Amino acid sequence: MAAASAPKEQVIGKLNVRVVRGNNLAICDPLTHTSDPYVVLQYDGQKVKTSVQKKNPNPVWNEVLQISVTNPTKPVHLEVFDEDKFTADDTMGVAEINIIDVYDAAKLSLSHATNGTRIKTIYPVGVNYLGGESHVHWKDGKVVQDMILKLKNVESGLIVVQLEWVHVPGVKL
């Protein structure tokens, strides 16, 4: 007799992650002194990725990747890779994106807020991956958080992302 599968967690919202750009990423191809980076986001069994930016340690993606959120206390895992043709892709650093701040702001009644209102500031501390202050704000009727992530397990590299909470119809936060 097959075991019953665990019930799927309810989606409480969606998160648009705009992967804006990378800065000073690691050089993984010694012959060309460059890299072919792309970003992979993983969350709760979901995996999405950006396009590959050829020969560019300072890539601009400006791509929106969407994930379904089931538990706001679980971080989004971000990893940057260097695409290789003949061998496995090289890792170029990792970071975790804490989504609890954007989730908490999405629960607020902000219809009265003026465009650009700053809801919260998160400071870089030893336990997070922030490379600078991160601000959650109300922009064009949406809760948005700008982040600069400092990559770990690598000699250099920053990734700039913007989170945007997307309400799911019928779900009360």
* pLDDT per residue as tens digits for the range 117-146: 999 999 998 778 999 999 999 999 999 999
Determine contact, residues 13/153, Cβ cutoff 8 Å.
no
Q: What is the pLDDT of residue 119?
A: 95
* Res. 3: pLDDT tops 70: no
Quick one: what percent of the chain has pLDDT higher than 90? 80
On average, the pLDDT of the chain sits at 92
Cα angle at 94 between 84 and 99, to 5 degrees?
130
Cα–Cα distance measured from residue 164 to residue 48, given in angstroms and rounded to the nearest whole number: 16
Least confident interval from 2-11, 26-35, 89-98: 2-11
Determine contact, residues 135/144, Cβ cutoff 8 Å.
no
DSSP helix, strand, coil percent of the chain (3-state; round to 5): 5, 45, 50
